[in-house]
Structure 1
Amino acid sequence: MGLTSFSALANPSQGEASKEAPKKETILLANKSEATPTGLTLTYSQALSTYKPFSAKRSAKAAVSAGTGELKIGYVIAMKGSKPDGMFGPVSASFDKGLNVELGPGVISAGLGLSFASYGDDEDDFETSSTMIVISPRATYHLDLLQNENLDLYGGLAFNYGIFSYSFEYTGNDPDLKKFYGDVDESDTDSELAILAGATYYFTEKFGGFLEVSSSDWNRASLGVAIKF
């Protein structure tokens, strides 16, 4: 049995009149053999083969995709060895940008990290201070197997270039000790290649928190906030 027009179903007595004065309308038929009014005619099977609203490819759900920018600001909660009392930081910041490069179930990001720490002590006529600045070009891979818009799992590599400065001064009144110790003002650099891995959870579309671990001597683990652009 085919599908007739809505007007014919509403008023069967007008069926003959509708054949004499057909209207231009789109009719969907279940049977190819039935006569159809003028206008566009599609069989049921043809309609299914040409109009498939649910067969369109779904866009992947991902917390980080090509073009996504992420700013992370954190505090280093673990270093190699123990932190000295009175140390500020290290505090860390990084910015990563999702590249238009898809590799398997994820995307690649490139970015730059920066860490800073300072230490000072003034005790028993001796004043010491030191600072640490670490610049870290980095590349990360954001895995999207979970298809989750809130959770971002990533791993990568960072090249850490550290700049260290150290100063020492005798502040007492003994001239002999002043001459013996003198003043020290030194600086040094060091570098390392570190493996990193982390997870970011976005509580809103733009704001979240992250935890990142690393093989770096200067930043074994950091915890902080993430902002997405």
Structure 2
Amino acid sequence: MTSAADLASLAALLADRTRAAMCLALLDGRAWTAGELAAHARVAPSTATEHLHRLIDGGLLVERRQGRHRYVQLADASVAQLLEDLAGRIERPAASPRGLRAVTASTALQRGRTCYDHLAGRLGVAVTDAMTAAGLLEQTGGFALTSAGLAWLTDALGLSPESLRPGGRPLARGCLDWTERRQHLAGLAGARVCETFLGNGWVVRIGSGRAVRLTPAGKVAVHDLLGLSGID
């Protein structure tokens, strides 16, 4: 049984602006170096290392080694869900970004982004709604792929049945979108859709952050596959 002390310790990991900034950056699903996270959070490398050790010890991050390089990333999809759920609980509107660069970055994130390993923002919600309208996804009483949805993933997107075996992760679940205040598709199916969109060049990343955008080929694909149009 979880104790009050355990819960307080977990909350304390995110009760620091630098650690929170690092965790939010890692929501892009990729592995970052300590130096990259230090630059992102605007702290000294030694300070970043101290914070990262706390996040790793607390189970929110894991360290990966590749040759001489060390990377960190979110421990798993449940940590990403925790961060998105917390962000969705923030009712008070955030301060308006200042400067053209900040406004542009904020607009890009709202338009489309990755939430760990699935699509979020207006793009993610639009894809989710279109799948629901087409009878591929059922949102009544929870998120579930229909038999037509499973067939769509294998036939239309070309995914193998083996890649859709849930294992310890739900096949489909709703994730509250912190900018749209509505749910988008997460879970294994959400990850596979995002992976396919990126792999086919239908969606590309903007810069080094979480923001993504549809390519011209992507606009054609979502129209042909889901009847979506007018999405930027």
Q: Same fold (TM over 0.5)?
A: no
TM-score range for the pair, normalised by the shorter chain length: under 0.3
Q: Which has the higher helix share?
A: 2
TM-score by length of 1: 0.20
Greater gyration radius: 1
